[in-house]
Structure 1
Amino acid sequence: MNDLTNAGTARDGTAATGGVLYRLVWKWHFLASLYVLPFMVMLGVTGGVYLYKPQIEAALYHDLLVVEATGQPLSIDAQLAGFEAMVAPKRLREVQIGEDPTASTRVEFDDAAGTRSYGYVNPYTGEVLGLQARDDMIMRQVQTFHGELLLGDIGTKFVELSAHWAVVMFVTGAILWWPRGRSKTIVTPHGSGRTWWRSTHLFTGMLATVLVVPILITGLPWTDVWGGALDRVQTATGQSSVSLKWGGAVPKSTPDADGPVGLDQAIATARSEGIAAPWLLRPARGEDGSVWVGSASTDRRDQSELVIDQYSGAVLARVDFADNPPVAKAVSWGISFHRGEAYGWLNLAQKTLAAALSVMLAVSGFVAWWMRRPAGSLGVPAAPEARLGWPMAALTLGLMVLFPLMGASLLLALALDWLLFKRLGWFQGQRSVPAE
């Protein structure tokens, strides 16, 4: 990955060299990096931290999550009845139950003010160990900052745009890195000063292209514009994921004079049906409502769902991961990979390394560029005025269709360049190209 480093006038005073395509690619790599690198640091740090959410929360909220196993636990109905009496929630959303005898029962609910919150109950005593607004939890804030910079819908557009332009940065960087007449294809960190920073950027860029680009792509289904378009395409083509958690098509219970059989029966049914623990349980709402139980396992293959009649305990419907269409499965596995859950500790280690490389790539590129740039200038690489042939035009149009938010930003950038930047002399480039 050639860096941001080599913009500006060459130290030996030579004029710009290199082919037209090479110089155009170099300028686009530089300009894409100006926008992307700050986001890359943020995404690398927050994403790397979030990978270890279970371990971090286990330390931060130990008093809420861990209890002493003493005798037989209370029924789930008794735990919820005590919780409702003490907390008076506006709405009960979901209960998480596991098989670990030292784990508390987690209740997700809306409080009287409508704030989505978690409550933690000692399953042996019924004591409410504590309440926590969901969005105030530290790892939730890390997740929100990672996805939207704490700026809501506007922030998520900026993050999505950085992911799109990061793809451009990595592609152009790979073109610049590709050896042209050099026998040595792998450059390891060496030398001192700017040489060390530049060689480090080359080395980390090579590794990051392999490790980070798949992470960028698998994160796109979460985005507003690209992800929203994918969701519409999946719906139109019958490739959406299958779920019984929401929707009017969920089977209803048949009221019985003997009343509901209880939530413990629903968990017993889930266990007998082979649903993997821990379980997420949604109590029935209304007289004809049904109980929903799903697996909270991080293994996608185990994520099955049941709809259970609240009166008889009979299974009214079941959906397994295998029932999803191919595109939905691919998206789901991509999300699992993005979270570092797809194949155990190896995926976690891979994601940790990718996060570290993202930060090092950004820092090394910035430092090497800063040490190289002419005083008082950005040191934008020179690029000749070039006619856009039909192959390049088709490629550009294809990228704009594939990444519509990037396409919109490109059109805006070209308009600003034509109307304003050229008149002000901004981003026009110095007469040099990257050193080989």
Structure 2
Amino acid sequence: MWRWHFYAGLIVLPVLALMAVTGALYLYKLEIEAWFYPVRITAPPNAQPLLPSRLIAAAQVAGAPATQILVPAKRDESWRVTTGSTVTFVDPYSGRLQGRMHDGGIMQTIRDLHSLALTGPIGNRLVEVVAGWAILLCITGLYLRWPRRGSPALAIRGRAGGRLFWRDLHGTLGFLSAGVILFLAVTGMPWTDVWGGGLRAIIAANGAGRPAMKVNPWAPPAKQALPWTLRERNAPTGGPGDIGVDAVVRIAARHGLASGYQLFLPASPSAPYLITALAARADDARAITIDAGTGAVVQDMDWRQFGMGAKSVEWGVATHQGQQYGEVNRLLMLAGCLCLLALCLTAPILWWKRRFAAPPPAPPGTARMVAGLMLALGLFFPLTGLSMLAALGAEWLVGRMRRS
């Protein structure tokens, strides 16, 4: 256990530290955006917003048609009109432009760093590997720190700066936060391509997912706004014609969505309008598709129509993002991120105290038990399993070089 804990930390430490920092920042996405961008406005009492078509026209960027409009849940927030890669903040009561945000702004950069999206598909697979090793770290760390005779789980002993002090600090923090870190690692897996894609396929094959989409395909931004389990499948598009965005907003209001949603304009002449609720809780998820030619509501999907598999994943995603249970949820996830960062900082100190020495091989009985556990984890998370084989191969090669 010590040996695999050592290797797990050695392999993924820098990426875990990056994920801890960016994850903690992303928990406060709304507050950070309000700090950097003109999100807040002064709403006149009893004033009604202008027609969405007027706001879109005011925010239109030359040569780039509007693709979506965000209608906030609060009256004192700007509406956001997206044209190309630019988001324009508009005062809905006066039509004045408040400012612009390009390429998703600072929070998109933080999100891309958190998911390693800046490196493309390779980054997504690396995230999957790191999440698997984080799970391995939690399991082996709990085993190593589990209270035994003369070795408590929660204790800070020794003189400050000594090896025992750092070992206890690292072990106590890890024991206290292992459950939250393990939860973050497991619930982060659905975002991955290989393991997450396989999970979506299994859920769909067993009828435990979302209702089949009646209209599709969506443009990539619209697909990302859908609940996680509604992002797959294609189906016929709608008929010709366009009733206009103002009529669509009125239809949404009649169906209970007067505010707090994103409205995606048709990506092609026969495509429908898509409206997705800005849901904080998983059970608030909702997506409405409206035929652009007739104004008919083609599909109205919500939490009640999801299967148990889809509900489980959506709940995990919302809790992972600190939204499902309000501020307590967010603070708990923040604590997990901060503890993970502290563990990443104390681990190299422990490594230095041991002068970079790897732990000795385990006795045969323990080795078989650990091998069985590693095999199970490697099979369940295939990309992590491949990296385990790489670690074993590297150890074997180093051993051969030392003996020669």
> Normalization by structure 2: what TM-score?
0.85
Q: Deviations over 1:76-113 (max 9, x none)?
A: 112223333xx134343211112533322211232xxx
**Aligned counterparts of 1:408 and 1:170: Cα–Cα separation in 2:** 19
In structure 1, what residue type is equivalent to 2:113? F
**Aligned counterparts of 1:102 and 1:92: Cα–Cα separation in 2:** 23
Give the structure 2 partner of residue 424 of structure 1: 401
Q: 1:107 aligns with which of 78, 81, 86?
A: 81
Tell me, yes or no, if the aligned pair for 2:5 and 2:137 is still in contact at 8 Å.
Answer: yes
The 1:398/1:132 distance shift into structure 2, 3 A limit, reads same
Deviation at 1:388, TM superposition (A): 9.2
Deviation at 1:356, TM superposition (A): 1.0
Give the structure 2 partner of residue 187 of structure 1: 155
Tell me, yes or no, if the aligned pair for 1:189 and 1:203 is still in contact at 8 Å.
Answer: no
1:66 and 2:40 equivalent? Answer: yes
Aligned ranges 1:110-149 → 2 under 5 Å: 110=84, 116-135=85-104, 137-148=105-116
Give the structure 2 partner of residue 48 of structure 1: 24
Q: Secondary structure, in 3 states, of the residue corresponding to 1:318?
A: strand
**Aligned counterparts of 2:93 and 2:78: Cα–Cα separation in 1:** 9
Which structure has the larger Rg over C-alpha atoms? 1
Q: Deviations over 1:366-420 (max 9, x none)?
A: 22332x224xxx21111157489876655443222101011111222223333x3
**Aligned counterparts of 1:95 and 1:281: Cα–Cα separation in 2:** 5
The 1:300/1:193 distance shift into structure 2, 3 A limit, reads same
Higher relative contact order (CA 8 A, sep 6+): 1
Give the structure 2 partner of residue 412 of structure 1: 390
**Aligned counterparts of 1:244 and 1:191: Cα–Cα separation in 2:** 66
Q: 1:246 aligns with which of 211, 216, 238?
A: 216
The 1:245/1:94 distance shift into structure 2, 3 A limit, reads farther
In structure 2, what residue type is equivalent to 1:166? A
Deviation at 1:122, TM superposition (A): 2.6
Q: Deviations over 1:123-182 (max 9, x none)?
A: 2333333332224x1111111111117322222322321211121122111111123323
In structure 2, what residue type is equivalent to 1:422? G
**Aligned counterparts of 1:241 and 1:54: Cα–Cα separation in 2:** 28
Tell me, yes or no, if the aligned pair for 1:277 and 1:297 is still in contact at 8 Å.
Answer: no
1:230 and 2:199 equivalent? Answer: yes
> Normalization by structure 1: what TM-score?
0.79
In structure 2, what residue type is equivalent to 1:58? A
Aligned ranges 1:148-297 → 2 under 5 Å: 148=116, 150-182=118-150, 184-188=152-156, 191-194=159-162, 195-242=164-211, 246-247=216-217, 248-249=234-235, 252-253=238-239, 260=243, 262-275=244-257, 277-284=259-266, 288-297=270-279
In structure 1, what residue type is equivalent to 2:235? A
Deviation at 1:296, TM superposition (A): 1.1
Deviation at 1:253, TM superposition (A): 5.0
Give the structure 2 partner of residue 353 of structure 1: 335
**Aligned counterparts of 1:336 and 1:244: Cα–Cα separation in 2:** 25
Stretches of 4+ aligned residues off by more than 6 angstroms = 387-391
Q: 1:88 aligns with which of 62, 87, 90?
A: 62
Q: Deviations over 1:247-293 (max 9, x none)?
A: 353663575xxx72x42332233223223731111224555543222
Tell me, yes or no, if the aligned pair for 1:267 and 1:293 is still in contact at 8 Å.
Answer: no
In structure 2, what residue type is equivalent to 1:170? C
Give the structure 1 partner of residue 376 of structure 2: 398
Deviation at 1:364, TM superposition (A): 1.9
Tell me, yes or no, if the aligned pair for 1:118 and 1:131 is still in contact at 8 Å.
Answer: yes
Aligned residues: 383
In structure 1, what residue type is equivalent to 2:189? L
Q: Deviations over 1:7-62 (max 9, x none)?
A: xxxxxxxxxxxxxxxxxx21111111111322222111111111111101101113
**Aligned counterparts of 2:169 and 2:12: Cα–Cα separation in 1:** 18
Q: Deviations over 1:343-384 (max 9, x none)?
A: 0001011011111111111222222332x224xxx2111115
Q: 1:76 aligns with which of 45, 52, 67?
A: 52
Tell me, yes or no, if the aligned pair for 1:251 and 1:317 is still in contact at 8 Å.
Answer: no
Identity percentage over the alignment?
A: 31
The 1:316/1:422 distance shift into structure 2, 3 A limit, reads same
Tell me, yes or no, if the aligned pair for 1:244 and 1:306 is still in contact at 8 Å.
Answer: no
Q: Which runs of 5+ in 1 are unaligned?
A: 1-24, 111-115, 427-436
**Aligned counterparts of 2:108 and 2:146: Cα–Cα separation in 1:** 40
Tell me, yes or no, if the aligned pair for 1:67 and 1:104 is still in contact at 8 Å.
Answer: yes
Deviation at 1:221, TM superposition (A): 0.6
Tell me, yes or no, if the aligned pair for 2:153 and 2:172 is still in contact at 8 Å.
Answer: no
Tell me, yes or no, if the aligned pair for 2:215 and 2:237 is still in contact at 8 Å.
Answer: no
Q: Secondary structure, in 3 states, of the residue corresponding to 1:381?
A: coil
**Aligned counterparts of 1:285 and 1:144: Cα–Cα separation in 2:** 25
Tell me, yes or no, if the aligned pair for 1:281 and 1:292 is still in contact at 8 Å.
Answer: yes
Q: Which runs of 5+ in 2 are unaligned?
A: 218-233
Give the structure 1 partner of residue 223 of structure 2: none
The 1:213/1:131 distance shift into structure 2, 3 A limit, reads same
Tell me, yes or no, if the aligned pair for 1:121 and 1:127 is still in contact at 8 Å.
Answer: yes
Q: Secondary structure, in 3 states, of the residue corresponding to 2:118?
A: coil
Tell me, yes or no, if the aligned pair for 2:67 and 2:266 is still in contact at 8 Å.
Answer: no
Tell me, yes or no, if the aligned pair for 2:37 and 2:101 is still in contact at 8 Å.
Answer: no
The 1:232/1:425 distance shift into structure 2, 3 A limit, reads farther
